[in-house]
Copies of this chain bind each other. A is one copy, B any other.
């Protein structure tokens, strides 16, 4: 259950009898939510109204990302879209990190697809596993404590999706793992990472190579004084996409 106050403050909770959630706006007794429909309004002991939403994949990702700040909804959505994946796709991902992107990929390859997610840092894998259990998506993911720069075990996958420091080292392995026409997607904060990745793609038989960035700006909507928001994230990273062409 997502107890929603406003777009910056919401609480992901499990509804149980006699459980209380403490917020800056007072506490909420979750007993009152048992048996109620999603979308129900509930008040804290200080009389502040919250809405009890059913969490979506976006909410889960927002919660996971907040702790690690690695990747943003604007980027996750483009990565998913440009990867061309959908229900049934088999996807190799790395690094897993806290599992935010993993959760998004798992959500879209359900029910018959699979995400093979590589991560070398064991402590992150545990965090990711917990996050994926919470979102109910763990069955669609195989977490692997292995180094993607040393090789990919899967073959004929539909997409290889990277959010790691040295994606160019994975490019030759990605070529081997992808089916013909399969997609490669990489997210990197620096220009130099994008350049090295594009060069590796060009040297390794990929075609349709493109790099881009997106910017996201909120609007304050109020009749008579509508304006874009002052605060904006200026940069997260560049996304590079490509497809495997046969040699």
Contacts and interface: CB of A to CB of B under 8 A. Distances in A.
Given A181-B38, A221-B198, A81 B87 contact: no
Interface string A90-103: 00000000000000
A176 interface: no
Interface residues of A, dominant DSSP: mixed
Contacts of A127: none
Interface string A43-61: 0000000011110111100
Contacts of A11: none
Interface of A: 4, 7, 37-41, 51-54, 56-59, 73-74, 76-78, 80-84, 86-88, 104, 107-108, 110-111, 179-183, 189-192, 194-195, 198-199, 207-219, 221, 223-236, 238, 240, 243-247
Contact of A227 (B38, B41, B82, B235): B235
Most B C-beta atoms less than 10 A away, residue of A53, A192, A234: A234
Contacts of A179: 38-39
A225 to B, nearest CB: 5
A73 B80 contact: no
A8 B210 CA distance: 11
A88 B37 CA distance: 20
Nearest to A224: B192
A192 B73 contact: no
A74 B82 contact: no
Contacts of A78: 73-74, 77
Given A180-B38, A217-B234, A81 B86 contact: no
